């Protein structure tokens, strides 16, 4: 059964009001749901509601709550992905797969070799809104209990100065000493650990950027002997972290 997300203000005692026009269109025109059909709705703090449709209007669906429960469909660890923005469809792919893999927070940022350029703050806002939509649709598809958070587009210095993480990992094709597999196996973390993973742009990191990562105590790792595209590197690195700390 398809899953939709709601905010706290959508919940009124024993009823849920669906006001998202895209969701209303999906429910009524794509799924062709009618009165008495049931919906699965994910709310705040990973609570999931099973609700029966009571009424349908063009801008509002009212549903009666039948049951509710806490969803455990989330990683035990918290992964934050900081991704130097890459070209449009490839960036969309990263957002989609990071959401499906359970990443909690995504920091899109601009580094020295970032190819993508933004004409204005409005252009940046448009991108964020697009990525938020991708997060929403991806979370529905994999039935996550929560939504990944997309942070505003930032710059390199803001990312390198991020704090309050148990591990800070930077993937680099220039570093040949330690693989991510070796690093993770030697650095065990608690069940609720916060991990920051940083992936570079198509053009890779500059030497100055690598030096800054070292100064800020980031672990510099490789993903193996092969050189991956940026979008592949992100999914491979996240998968390594999940394999080491979740399974």
Residue 48: band (very low, low, confident or very high) from pLDDT cuts 50, 70, 90 = confident
Nearest to 197 by CA among 217, 169, 233: 169
DSSP of 43-85: -GGGEEEEEEEEEEETTEEEEEEEEEEE---S-SSEEEEEEE-
- Span 172-191, average pLDDT: 85
Distance between CA atoms of residues 64 and 50, nearest Å: 8
Q: Which residue has the higher pLDDT, 20 or 3?
A: 20
- Span 30-35, average pLDDT: 91
Give the domains, in start order, of the chain with CATH numbers. 3-70 (2.40.240.20), 78-245 (3.40.1280.10)
pLDDT above 90 for 219: yes
Which tokens sit at 110?
């601009």
How confident is the model at residue 81, as a pLDDT?
98
Residue 165: band (very low, low, confident or very high) from pLDDT cuts 50, 70, 90 = very high
Distance between CA atoms of residues 105 and 82, nearest Å: 8
How confident is the model at residue 144, as a pLDDT?
82
How confident is the model at residue 42, as a pLDDT?
87
> Structure pTM?
0.82
Asked if 199 contacts 233 with a C-beta cutoff of 8 angstroms, the reply is: yes
């Amino acid at each position: 059964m398809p899953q939709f997300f709601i905010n706290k203000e959508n919940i009124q005692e024993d009823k849920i009001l669906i006001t998202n026009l895209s969701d209303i269109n999906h429910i009524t025109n794509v799924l062709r749901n009618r009165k008495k059909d049931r919906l699965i709705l994910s709310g705040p703090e990973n609570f999931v509601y099973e609700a029966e449709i009571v009424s349908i209007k063009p801008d509002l669906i009212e549903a009666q709550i039948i049951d509710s429960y806490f969803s455990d469909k989330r990683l035990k660890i918290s992964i934050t992905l900081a991704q130097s923005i890459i070209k449009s469809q490839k960036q969309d792919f990263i957002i989609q797969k990071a959401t499906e893999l359970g990443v909690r927070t995504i920091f899109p940022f601009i580094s020295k070799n970032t190819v993508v350029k933004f004409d204005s703050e409005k252009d940046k806002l448009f991108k964020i809104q697009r990525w938020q939509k991708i997060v929403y649709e991806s979370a529905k598809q994999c039935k996550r209990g929560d939504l990944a958070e997309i942070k505003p587009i930032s710059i390199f210095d803001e990312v390198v100065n991020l704090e309050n993480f148990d591990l800070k990992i930077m993937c680099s094709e220039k570093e040949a000493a330690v693989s991510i597999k070796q690093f993770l196996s030697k650095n065990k973390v608690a069940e609720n650990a916060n991990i920051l993973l940083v992936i570079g742009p198509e053009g890779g990191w500059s030497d100055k950027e690598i030096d800054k990562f070292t100064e800020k105590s980031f672990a510099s790792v490789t993903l193996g002997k092969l050189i991956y595209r940026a979008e592949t590197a992100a999914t491979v690195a996240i998968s390594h972290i999940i394999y080491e700390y979740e399974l």
